[in-house]
Amino acid sequence: MSPLDLIRRAPNRAAAADEPSAGDVASSSSPGVGSPSSSSSGGGTLAERVVARTAGLFGGASTRRRFLAKTAVVGSAIAVNPVTYLLKPGTAYGAVCGTCSDGWTAFCCTVNSGKNSCPPNTFVAGWWKADNAAYCGGGPRYIIDCNATCPTQCSCRCAGASCDGRRTCCNQFRYGQCNQHISCYGPVACRVAICITPWQYDAACSTYALTDNRTVQHGAACLKTEHNTAITRKYYALGGPDGFLGILTQTERTSTDGSGRYAIYEGGRIYFKASTGAHEVHGSIFSAWADAGGPGGSYRFPTSDTRDLPGGQGRYQTYEQGNIYAGSAGTYGVPEPHLGVYLAYGGHNVNSALGLPVGPVTRSSDGVALYINFERGRTYRRGSTAVEIHGAIFDKHESLGGVHGNLGHVKSSVLTSGDGRGRYSRFDGGGIYYTATLGAHAVWGAMDIAYVAVGGPASDVGFPTTDRQAVGDGVGDRVRLENGGVYYKASRGAFVVPGELHDRYLDRGGPTGSLGYPTGPATHSGASGFTQPFEGGTLTAPSPYVAFVRAAYQDFLDRAPTTAELSSQADALYLGTKSRATIVRELAYSDGYLTAVVNRFYVDTLGRPGGSGEVSYWIGLLRSGWSVARVAASFYASAEYFSGIGGGTVRSWIADLYPKLLQRSASSTDLDYWEATTASIGRGVVALRLFQSAESRATRVRGLYQDLLGRTPGASDVAYWSPRILTQGDLALAVSLASMAEYYDRAQDRFA
C-alpha cells in the first residue's frame, strides 16, 4: 500500500465501471485523477512530439506508418525511464501517455491552453512527489492537484488530447497541504507537474511531504523538461505560465557564449550565470539587448530583472557591462564606459543632468568618437574614456558646430568651478564656461590658453560674459570677462587685460583706441600694482590685493604688514599661488595672532598682560586642538579671576560673568541655579557652558560681523553660524568672514 493510501480516501463519483483499480485509489495518485508523470529528459524532443502526434494510432490493423510511430513511442519511453520500460511488462504508450479510461486526471497544460498551472475557477489544493524522475533530471517531481472552487463550474469529461486523454473534473479528492483555509472544494480539475518544491510554487503550501512513485513517468505533449534550476525557480517566482513570460517554448540550454544558460518563453527569456544569478529579459529591452549580441555582446549577462524607472519614465534593466532603458523616446542602451559617467551625473533619476537616452550608440561622422544622445545632453567615448556634456554647455557646443566646430571634441565632463559659482567643460580646442546669471560662453584657441594661464574662472577676472567674437576692426577678437577681457591679434597673440587695467583700457578706446592691442601679459609687483604693455603705450593701475593684505594684517595681527610682507602676499594673490582664505587662515593660526588672542584674554579677564611663559603655555594648548572657547572658560574659571574680579563667592562670580558673556544681568533665579550647579560640577564646566551658551554664541557672531564686515548680521546669519562655532570654533568663523568678497570690497574703501 502506498503512503498516500494511508492519508484518506474519497469515493470516485465519476469513475467508469471498467476503470483500472490503480485509478480507483485516488489517494495513491493525485487528488482523485492520477499520479505523477514525466516527459522525456529533453523536454520537447522529437520523441515527445511523435508521441503527441501518434498517441491515438495504436490499435487496428498494423501498417508501416503505425510501426514507425510505435517505434518512436518506444524510443520516448526508453529515454524517459529505460530500466522500468525494459524490465517491466507494458507498452511505451502506457509509460508516457494516458487515456480517459485509465482513471488518472489530465495535466493542466492539456486543458488550460498549454499552461502548466491551475486554470480559472480552481485552486492549489495539495501535492505529492515522485522520486527519481527523468522529467526533473533524476530529482523529485512534484504533482500538484488543482481542485475546483465552490460552486463547481466544471463537469466530468475526457480531456480529449491524443497523448493526455485523461479525465478532468471527475475525481472528488483532496490531499490538503495547500490553502487549508479553503474548506469547500470540488473535484480535481487537472494536475500541475513541477520540479521545484510546492511551497516555492505557492507559498500557501506546507512542506509536509507524501511520496508515490507510480506516476513518475506520466506525461503529456504539452509538458516540457523543467529541472529544479535557478532558471526554473525564477520562472515560477515571476508567475510561471500565468505571468508575463507565459508558456515555456524552449527548454533550458547553454548560452551561445558558453558561460551561462537560458530558457525561452512566449513572452521573453531567462538567463543565468553563476556570478549574476537568474534574470528575465523581455519586450523591447530584450530586442535591444539581442541586437547588441545578447550575452556574448557588449552588455554581457543581465544583473537584474526589468525595473520601473522613477517618476513613471519607463523601465530599465542592468547588465554586467551597461544598462538598457525603455522610455517614451524608445529603447536604447548605455554600455560601459558611457554608463559610468552617466551614473556619475545622476543616471536615470528624474532630475538628473542628462535624462534618459534618446538614441543608440553612434559613431561621429569624423570617426573619432562614439556618442549617445540623451534628453538633456550627450556622452562621448574616445578609446576607453567617456565624458559627458549637458544643459547650456551642451547647447552652446552644438550651436558652434559641435565636434566639427572650433572647440572640437569633448575632453572633460561638466565640472564645477572652484568657487562653486559655475560650471565648465574642456574641449580639444578650448572651453565653455557657465553661470546661472551669465549663461554659457565659449573661448577657444590662443584666447582660451591665455585665459586659463591666469587661472580661468577661478581667478579674479572671473567668468566670460561673451563668446569669442570679432572686435569689428577686421583685425582681432575679444572675450569680455566679469573683471577684464581677453584680446587677440594674429601678429601679437592673445593676452588677458585684468579688471584693474581693463577699465582704463576701455576709457582709452580699447583695441580700436590709442593703445591698440596688448603686446604682453599684465605683470604685478606688490605695492607697485599692475603694468601691461600695449601697441600704443603702457598702462598701470594700483593693486586691489594691497588693500586686502593691509586689512587682514590689521584685523588679525593688529599691525600693518611690512613692505616685504605686503609685496609677497599681494603677488601670491595675483599669481594664484595663494587664495584670500589661505592668507587669512595663515594669519589666524600664526603665533602673532594667537599671542594677541591670549594677551587679550589676560587683559580682559585678569586685568594684566601675560608673562612670556604663560602666553606660550596657552598658545601650545590652542595649537594642540583646544578651542578659543575652552581657553576663555579656563581664564574665567581661574582662581585668580574668581578671587579678584569675580568677587570671591560663586554668586558674585556668576553675577560678574552674565553681562560679560550674555550681555545681560543675571536674575535671582539664574544665580540660584548656577550657584547650585557650580557646587556640583565645578567652575570650569560652568564657565564653559556659559561661554558656549546660545546667548553667548550669538553675541560673538554679532561681534565678529561688526569687527570684520562693519555691519550687524541678519537673523539668518546668526542662526547659521551660532551652532557652527560650537563645533568649529570662533577662529573658523573669523576666517570665513575675512575670506568673503564682502570683506575684500570693504578693504578697498578702508585702505584706498
Residue 14 has pLDDT above 90, yes or no: no
E strands present in 296-409: 307-308, 315-319, 322-327, 330-335, 362-363, 370-374, 377-382, 385-390
* pLDDT at res. 93: 53
Query: Could you tell me the residue range of the domain that residue 20 belongs to?
Result: 3-228
Does residue 248 sit in helix, strand or coil?
strand
Average pLDDT of the residues in 223-248:
95
**Can you tell me the distance from the alpha carbon of 301 to that of 277, in angstroms, rounded to the nearest whole number?**
9
CA–CA distances in Å: residue 251 to residues 261, 262, 497:
10, 8, 75
Say what the pLDDT of residue 69 is: 37
For residue 137, being part of any structural domain is answered with yes
Q: Quick check: 747 and 546 in contact, CB under 8 A?
A: no
Q: Which amino acid is at 296?
A: G
pLDDT digits (tens, 9 = 90+) for 442-487: 999 999 999 999 999 988 899 999 999 999 999 999 999 999 999 9
Confidence of residue 241 (pLDDT cuts 50, 70, 90): very high
Per the CB < 8 A criterion, the answer to whether 268 and 287 are in contact is no
DSSP state of 495: E
Long-range contacts of 322-325 (CB under 8 A, 24+ apart): 322/298, 323/348, 324/285, 324/288, 324/289, 324/299, 325/356, 325/357
pLDDT digits (tens, 9 = 90+) for 195-208: 999 999 999 999 99
Torsion of CA 196, 202, 205, 207, to 10 degrees: 30
Q: State the Cα torsion 583-586-592-595 to the nearest 10°.
A: 130
Nearest to 439 by CA among 420, 429, 424, 454: 424
Q: Region 314-321: what's the mean pLDDT?
A: 98
User: Measured between alpha carbons, how far is residue 156 from residues 145, 164, 271, 505 in Å?
Assistant: 15, 15, 41, 103
Question: At 243, is the pLDDT very low, low, confident or very high (cuts 50, 70, 90)?
Answer: very high
What is the pLDDT averaged over residues 238-263?
95
Closest by CA to 263, choosing from 271, 279, 44, 233, is: 271
Q: Look over the chain and give the mean of its residue pLDDT values, rounded to a whole number.
A: 87
Residue 21's pLDDT is 32
Q: Is residue 502 part of a domain?
A: no
Using 50, 70 and 90 to split pLDDT, how confident is the model at 33?
very low
Q: Is the predicted pLDDT of residue 543 greater than 80, yes or no?
A: yes
Residue 288 lies in a domain: no
> pLDDT tens-digit profile of 695-708?
999 999 999 999 99
Average pLDDT over residues 526-537: 92
Phi-psi region of 589 (alpha: psi -120 to 50; beta: other; left: phi over 0): alpha
pLDDT at 72: 38
DSSP per-residue letters across 113-155? TT-SSPPTTEEEEEEEEEEEEGGGTTEEEEEEEEEEPSSP---
In the chain, how many domains are there? 1
How many CA atoms are closer than 13 Å to the CA of 474, on its beta-carbon side? Answer: 0
- Count the Cβ atoms, other than its own, within 10 Å of residue 592: 13
Q: Can you tell me the distance from the alpha carbon of 260 to that of 174, in angstroms, rounded to the nearest whole number?
A: 40
Name residues whose C-beta falls within 8 Å of residue 414's C-beta, 6 or more positions apart in sequence: 345, 353, 388, 389, 390, 391, 393, 423, 424, 425
Contact 341, 325 (CB under 8 A): no
Residue 534 within a domain: no
106 contacts: CB under 8 Å, gap ≥ 6: 33, 34, 98, 159, 161, 164, 165, 166, 167, 168, 190, 191, 220
Q: What pLDDT was estimated at residue 18?
A: 28
Q: Has residue 92 got a pLDDT over 90?
A: no
Query: Any idea what the Cα angle at residue 698 is, between residues 734 and 633, rounded to 5°?
Result: 75
Question: Tell me, what's the pLDDT at 1?
Answer: 36
Is residue 105 within 8 A of residue 190, CB to CB? The reply is yes
Q: Residue 41 falls within a domain, yes or no?
A: yes
Q: What is the pLDDT of residue 58?
A: 34
The secondary element (H helix, E strand) that includes residue 251 is: strand 248-254
Give ∠ CA 507-508-511 in degrees, rounded to 5. 110
Q: In this structure, is residue 420 part of a structural domain? A: no
Q: Which long-range contacts (CB under 8 A, 24 or more apart) does 616-619 make?
A: 619/591, 619/594, 619/595
Percent pLDDT > 70 in the chain is: 87
Report pLDDT for 460: 87
The length of the chain, given as a count of residues = 752
Q: Can you tell me the distance from the alpha carbon of 480 to that of 454, in angstroms, rounded to the nearest whole number?
A: 15
Tell me: pLDDT of 64 over 70. no
Q: What is the pLDDT of residues 107-147, one digit of tens each?
A: 999 999 999 999 999 999 999 999 999 889 899 999 999 99
The predicted pLDDT at position 87 comes to: 37
DSSP 662: T
Adjacent-strand bridge partners of 250: 264
Distance (Å, rounded) from C-alpha 167 to C-alpha 190? 8
The one-letter amino acid code at 608 reads R
Q: Is residue 619 part of a domain?
A: no
CA atoms within 13 Å, Cβ hemisphere of 392: 15
Alpha carbon 404 to its chain centroid, in Å, reads 34
Q: What is the pLDDT of residues 615-637, one digit of tens each?
A: 999 999 999 989 889 999 999 99
Residue 11 has pLDDT above 50, yes or no: no
Surface-to-core class of residue 155, CB atoms within 10 Å of its CB (0-12 exposed, 13-18 middle, 19+ buried):
exposed
Element (H, E) at 440: strand 439-444
Classify residue 129: in a domain, yes or no. yes
pLDDT in tens, 141-198: 999 999 999 999 999 999 988 899 999 999 999 989 999 999 999 999 999 999 999 9
Q: What is the pLDDT of residue 95?
A: 62
Mean pLDDT of 537-561: 94
Confidence of residue 527 (pLDDT cuts 50, 70, 90): confident
Please give the Cα distance from 96 to 430 (Å, whole number). Answer: 76
Query: How do residues 429-440 score in pLDDT, each as one tens digit?
Result: 999 999 999 999
